[in-house]
Amino acid sequence: MSQQPVVIGFDLDMTLLDTRRGIAATWRALTERTGVHVDADLAASRLGPPLRQEMSEWFPSERIEEAVGIYRSLYPDHAIAPSNALPGAEQALDAVRRVPARIAVITSKLGRLAELHLAHLGISVDKVYGDVFHAGKAQVLQDIGAALYVGDHVADMQAAALAGIPAFGVTSGPCSAEDLRAAGATVVFEDLRPFPAFLNGVISVGRAVSGD
């Protein structure tokens, strides 16, 4: 039996937490501060990629870094309180603890902002890895020896595939079940409620096994 602790990775936005209302509020505050119009609801509907990618849809290149800094300064006051756990999130984390396994949150959001969300909701995890996306997430998954990654974006599924581990996809984010499967998802569900039963099938005696 492996002596290394089993680690399960989770994305944050629209996988564990519904952050859309708070993020939309932050985008509106950014528009007020900068005078640059952002369709806040549209921006909040396509969470997953790094902030600078979305920022480039609204700001000229020479203003992106300034806008990112302002957005992040506004975020704690606007985005944290309106967010809530998605259906099945708490049960999914409890299932990981019962394995027992360690919980890693791996997100494109800055780690300190992800930690604010988790602290506000009283959600305890073992480690947060922030400011990573796609291949960056895959590298973290490999570095920590993750057995499984859970996410809502095609890039999450691809990150798991690059890391050579199963991926549990949820359609609570911007991507369809078909897109998640095409990107390499082992299974896809509407939310995390089926996760505990799935986890029982992929973790056996402290080791990752086939998800089939």
pLDDT score of 165 more than 70: yes
Give the CB-side neighbour count of residue 65, counting CA atoms within 13 A.
1
Q: Mark residue 122 as left, alpha or beta (left: phi above 0; alpha: psi -120 to 50; beta: remaining).
A: left
Where is 92: in which H helix or E strand?
Answer: helix 89-98
Q: For the chain, give the mean pLDDT.
A: 94
**Hey, is 115 helix, strand or coil?**
helix
Distance from C-alpha of 111 to C-alpha of 179, rounded to nearest angstrom: 27
Tens digit of pLDDT for each residue in 124-151?
A: 999 999 999 999 999 999 999 999 999 9
Distance of alpha carbon 50 from alpha carbon 131, whole angstroms: 7
Nearest to 34 by CA among 2, 59, 62: 59
The answer to whether 150 and 192 are in contact (CB under 8 A) is: yes
Is 50 exceeded by the pLDDT of residue 105?
Answer: yes
Q: Name the residue with higher pLDDT: 206 or 139.
A: 139
The three-state (H, E, C) secondary structure of 2-69, written as one string: CCCCCEEEECCECCCEECHHHHHHHHHHHHHHHCCCCCHHHHHHCCCCCHHHHHCCCCCHHHHHHHHH
pLDDT-based confidence at 206, cuts 50/70/90? very low
What is d(CA 4, CA 62) in angstroms, rounded to the nearest whole number?
A: 46
Q: CA-to-CA distance for 150 and 88, rounded, in angstroms?
A: 13
The structure tokens listed for 48 are 């997953």
Distance CA 168, CA 177 (A): 11
> Residue 182: pLDDT band by 50, 70, 90 thresholds?
very high
**Nearest to 8, CA basis, from 202, 212, 205, 210:** 202
Mean pLDDT, residues 43-63: 97
pLDDT in the model for residue 208: 47
Please choose, from the candidates 68, 74, 69, 19, the residue with its C-alpha nearest in 3D space to the C-alpha of residue 44.
19
Q: How confident is the model at residue 56 (pLDDT cuts 50, 70, 90)?
A: very high
Summarize pLDDT for 1-37 with one digit per residue, the tens.
345 789 999 999 999 999 999 999 999 999 999 999 9
